[in-house]
Chains A and B, each alone.
Chain A
Amino acid sequence: MKSCTKCSKNIACLKRPKTGDALCRECFFDAFEQEIHWTITTFNLFSRGDYVAIAASGGKDSTVLAHLMKVLNDRYDYGLKLVLLSIDEGITGYRDDSLETVKRNELQYGIPLKILSYNDLYGWTMDKIVAAVGKKSNCTFCGVFRRQALDRGAMQLGVDKIVTGHNADDIAETVIMNVLRGDIARLQRCTSIVTGSEGLIPRSKPFKYTYEKEIVMYAHFKKLDYFSTECIYSPNAYRGHARAYIKNLELQDPLSILNIIYSGECMSLREGTKLPSKGTCSRCGYISSQEVCKACVMLEGLNKGVPRLGVGKTSKVIKKMEQLKLSEDSDRSPTKPVVSHSTTEVPSRKSSVLRETTLEW
């Protein structure tokens, strides 16, 4: 059995992907926690007195993040006020186990928990939406609403910052996905450690340089209580392929993960390249390439009894919206959403703007 390359005292229990070091438990905990602290301080993720929402799903990444935020805030006296923020889509049975996990985390880490439901945020639960639109297109609704839910929830709580548990493997996967989709706007943003400038709530990723393997090993050795759902492959096969690709590369050379992130960071647009214009939704203020964002269109449809509005193609939707004269009575929207931001609509793949876009490596 190998002994720890750092203390040469204890038996090594883990091979670090980033360095190849064989570390014992104690030296691994040390190195892991130090690195997150380094990331937080080097990139100035927080200021003293910040009220910070930890996006908490009960899964491995957000559980380890909640634990570490608590440990580091106490150890290094960041002076942060922490809150766990969970989103409940309102699908009977679906979130029960993960919300139970988050409730235990609240007690384990002594961080107050706030659960906001789609009903709180949008006035509709997924169960009610399914009843209105049928099972076929409910995923479209859930996906669009989920994209904005965290920002809307954070606005409701009045926090200064949001942290999410996205790790290095996730970010590398997203870089690959955005390259494959030709989504240049997202490619530009996805490697940023902090997103959401323009005076709106900043979102940061303290695990940007942290390998998934180490997060899972840390959770295991610390016996942290987390929840895993069925495979992430099933709902999105395309992302699954990207993930498998990343994991296979990692097996051959773990550094390829950091290299993909680095390459993503270095790709910049040639000057003069047109990007889809980034307007904001006239209803809720969320970044949107259309006058009214997709979530607001869908809400309008639900509230007006034409639930399938917003499910189809954008051009058709615009025509339909004109028919309904939606922009005229926007102030009467019963669920006027909170102003939030940070995700743009996916630009239409057929738009000429995208075809003109060129990458510079």
Chain B
Amino acid sequence: MCDISLEFAGGAELLFESRKKQSVSLPPQDRPWTIDLLVKWLAKNLLKGNPEMFIHADGSGVRPGILVLINEIDWELLGGKDYRIQNNDSILFVSTLHGG
């Protein structure tokens, strides 16, 4: 089981029907869930905006300019897109690409 809470901010929520927070149960699979796999799953299941605005051009991880915080910690300190998601993690995507 992999229950996580997701949060989108800084304009990233606009790509997800303006929903800022939601809880998600990731389906069981053979390999462990990573941020990379989560991003692909989000793109398939929840993303409503332009995928180019969320996913890296090479199809792996988020687009540069979107920050990821895992339990309030910068994902760059946790292995980036290869971070292995744990049950009850809270994962926040913040866009720096949106204007104000």
Contact = CB atoms under 8 A, between A and B. Distances in A.
Contact of A57 (B53, B72, B92, B100): B100
Of listed A59, A62, A98, A169, residue having the most chain B CB within 10 A: A59
B14 interface: yes
Of listed B14, B50, B100, residue having the most chain A CB within 10 A: B100
Nearest to B14: A230
Contacts of A58: 100
Interface of B: 9-11, 14, 50, 53, 63-65, 67, 69, 72-74, 76-77, 92, 94-100
Contacts of B92: 220
A349 to B, nearest CB: 26
Given A228-B10, A232-B99, A216 B94 contact: yes
B64 A213 contact: no
Of listed A13, A58, A62, residue having the most chain B CB within 10 A: A13
Given A15-B74, A216-B10, A231 B96 contact: no
A229 B10 CA distance: 9
Interface stretch (A147-155, A247-255, A306-314, A326-334): A247-255
Size band of the interface chain A makes with B? 35 or more
A12 B11 contact: no
A226 interface: yes
B97 A231 contact: yes
Contact of B77 (A14, A230, A251): A14
B88 to A, nearest CB: 16
A244 B55 CA distance: 12
B77 A59 contact: no
A229 B74 contact: no
16 contacts: A11-B73, A12-B74, A13-B72, A15-B76, A59-B100, A61-B100, A212-B96, A216-B10, A220-B69, A227-B100, A228-B14, A229-B98, A229-B99, A231-B97, A243-B65, A247-B65
Contacts of A191: none
A214 to B, nearest CB: 10
Contact of B11 (A57, A220, A231): A231
Given A57-B100, A59-B100, A216 B76 contact: no
A281 interface: no
B11 A229 contact: yes
Contacts of B65: 212, 243-244, 247
Contacts of B53: 231, 233
A2 interface: yes
